[in-house]
């Protein structure tokens, strides 16, 4: 059953501008949504609209001393996920706030769904295929493109529900 805090991590891909559809669906399913954007994604997003929709500031950097600590996520969806982010997540690279959150999530038992938006040339590359296989081996659900090019928000939420349904714990 959905509930708790869902972090939606948005990367710099064209579908980032459409992520409000995912947020609306997640909120309708009972999630409180916190948007985290990679630094490059900020130019793709309507920040005021997202903050109005979620009631929370869009985060893209670590908090400064004295700033309130955000709630720990109960689940994470990375959508749209870029080639760069998928590969860095799999390697444990934490050079942004978003990647730092992702690096910890599997180790903390936080369910993670990744929705890559990469073209066929990048998706065919060996580093990307290894990254997807590695993430899946750690229990991360990676939803590869169905070929229609449309955002797969319903599929992302269904995958998340499958991870959290019985106990609310990570169950790949």
Question: What would the pLDDT profile of 69-87 be if each residue is shown by its tens digit?
Answer: 888 999 999 999 999 999 9
Extract long-range pairs of 147-153: CB within 8 Å, 24+ residues apart.
151/15, 151/18, 151/19, 151/21, 151/22, 151/79, 151/80, 151/115, 152/79, 152/115, 153/21, 153/22, 153/25, 153/79
- Render pLDDT for 125-158 as a digit per residue (tens, 0 to 9): 999 999 999 999 999 999 986 555 556 888 999 9
- Render pLDDT for 4-57 as a digit per residue (tens, 0 to 9): 999 999 999 888 788 999 999 999 999 999 999 999 999 999 999 999 999 999
Annotated domain spans of the chain: 5-63+70-164
The verdict on domain 5-63+70-164 having CATH code 3.40.50.1820 is no
- Nearest one of 47, 46, 49, 5 to 27, comparing CA atoms: 5
């Amino acid at each position: 059953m959905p509930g708790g805090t869902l972090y939606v991590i948005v990367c710099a891909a064209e579908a980032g501008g459409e992520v409000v559809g995912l947020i609306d669906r997640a909120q309708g399913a009972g999630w409180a949504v916190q948007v985290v954007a990679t630094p490059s994604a900020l130019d793709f997003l309507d920040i005021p609209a997202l903050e109005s929709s979620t009631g929370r500031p869009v985060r893209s950097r670590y908090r400064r001393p004295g700033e309130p600590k955000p709630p720990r996520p109960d689940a994470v969806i990375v959508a749209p996920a870029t080639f760069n982010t998928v590969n860095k997540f799999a390697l444990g690279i934490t050079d942004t706030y978003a990647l730092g959150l992702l690096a910890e999530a599997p180790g903390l038992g936080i369910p993670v769904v990744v929705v890559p938006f990469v073209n066929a040339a990048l998706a065919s590359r060996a580093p990307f295929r290894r990254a997807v296989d590695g993430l899946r081996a750690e229990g991360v659900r990676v939803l590869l493109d169905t070929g229609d090019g449309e955002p797969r928000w319903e599929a992302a939420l269904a995958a998340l529900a499958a991870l959290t349904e019985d106990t609310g714990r990570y169950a790949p």
